[in-house]
Amino acid sequence: MSLEFVKFLQEEGQVEKSPFMSWLKEEDKKTPFQRYIASQQELKEAEVFVLLSDYESQGIVVTEAISIGKPVMVNDSTALHDHVGNYGVVGITDVEHYGEITWKLKEMLDKPWKFVPKNNSVISQKETNTRTMEVYEMVKLYEGHE
């Protein structure tokens, strides 16, 4: 669900009437989505972390959310998919399919234990760097650079 769509619903006073937002708690309907995480405390207090950007490749904040055990939803059609692997992360292939996003987000909120990464599966910054270098080396070889 795009931030613009949520803002539109808020401006029109339609959040409560939207089938995509009707299941949110009353206090969450006022500001269900934020443009950015202002502090680590906000990340710790969040029930889930959602980053559906079309342009992310290696979102450090996604790694941070995974490392503190938050259920995470990302855009599956970006490099974030490779970055997070199968660490309990929900991937969305069509970020304009609001029904799928809503359904998965509701499930994440209702059953967070299904989406929290196991302790032994949390990706470290060292592992992230290693994977990035491996991809970089493969690209260099593919393009004929040594």
Does the reported pTM lie above 0.85? no
Domain ranges within the chain, ordered by starting residue: 36-142
Predicted confidence (pLDDT) per residue in 22-40, tens digit: 555 555 555 555 555 556 7
Q: Is the pLDDT of residue 111 over 80?
A: yes
Pick the CATH number of 36-142 from 3.30.1490.20, 3.40.47.10, 3.40.50.2000, 3.30.70.260: 3.40.50.2000
pLDDT of residue 36: 55
Query: Average pLDDT, whole number, for the chain?
Result: 70
Query: Cβ of 55: how many Cβ atoms within 10 Å?
Result: 9
Q: Is the pLDDT of residue 1 over 50?
A: no
Query: Cβ of 66: how many Cβ atoms within 10 Å?
Result: 23
